[in-house]
């Protein structure tokens, strides 16, 4: 039987690096916002982009120049699920949905997950993947 993990709190700095208007310190992301940002960073990381972790990330950016169809959407969905499952132990029950939009040459990605050890609602974020030239 697996042991239940109890989480305390999570903190991370905001990657916008904008200073707080009053204290002039870097802004801090806390708890579910920090984890949501960490999951999104994993999805947007390209393999070999991070030093000492050359396999971390997904190849979804390179797939945006392929056909926008359900086959590509399925591959993108699998890559996103696998990178989150393998690299983010603070989340559980990961669900990924990728909808192709061939008329706009883009994919709509929705990621849902639960935070381990915290009594908060399931987290969700949606973003658009499109080829940029």
CATH number, domain with residue 34: 3.10.450.40
User: Is residue 33 in some structural domain?
Assistant: yes
Query: pTM for this structure?
Result: 0.78
Question: Which structural domain range is residue 59 located in?
Answer: 11-130
Is residue 26 included in any domain, yes or no?
A: yes
Is 51 a member of any domain?
A: yes
**Residue 78: predicted pLDDT:** 94
What long-range pairs does 32-36 form, CB within 8 A, spacing at least 24? 32/115, 32/118, 32/120, 32/123, 34/10, 35/10, 35/88, 35/90, 35/91, 35/115, 35/123, 36/123, 36/125
Q: Give ∠ CA 18-132-101 in degrees, rounded to 5.
A: 110
pLDDT tens digit sequence for 69-119: 898 899 999 999 999 999 988 899 999 999 999 888 899 999 999 988 777
How far apart (Å, rounded) are the C-alpha atoms in residues 85 and 90? 10
In a domain? residue 6: no
CA-nearest of 9, 49, 27, 35 to 89 is: 35
**Would 65 be classed as within a structural domain?**
yes
- How far apart, in whole angstroms, are the C-alpha atoms of residue 80 and residue 94? 10
Are 29 and 37 in contact, with CB atoms under 8 Å apart?
yes
Q: Does a structural domain hold residue 4?
A: no
Q: How far apart are CA 130 and CA 42, in angstroms?
A: 18
Best CA proximity match to 111, nearest among 130, 119, 88, 6: 88
Pairing relationship of beta strands 106-115 and 91-101 according to DSSP bridges:
antiparallel
Domain assignment of residue 122, yes or no: yes
Number of compact structural domains in the chain: 1
Residue pLDDT, tens place only, 10-48: 766 666 677 777 887 777 767 777 788 888 888 888 888
């Amino acid at each position: 039987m697996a042991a239940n993990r109890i989480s305390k709190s999570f903190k991370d700095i905001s990657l916008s690096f904008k200073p707080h208007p009053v204290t002039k310190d870097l802004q801090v992301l806390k708890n579910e916002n920090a984890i949501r940002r960490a999951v999104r960073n994993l999805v947007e990381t390209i393999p070999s982009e991070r030093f000492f972790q050359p396999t971390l990330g997904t190849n979804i950016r390179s797939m945006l120049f392929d056909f926008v169809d359900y086959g590509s959407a399925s591959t993108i969905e699998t890559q996103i699920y696998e990178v989150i499952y393998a690299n983010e132990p603070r989340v559980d029950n990961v669900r990924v949905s990728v909808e192709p939009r061939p008329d706009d040459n883009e994919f709509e990605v929705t990621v849902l997950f639960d935070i381990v050890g915290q009594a908060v609602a399931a987290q969700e974020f949606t973003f658009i993947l499109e080829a940029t030239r």
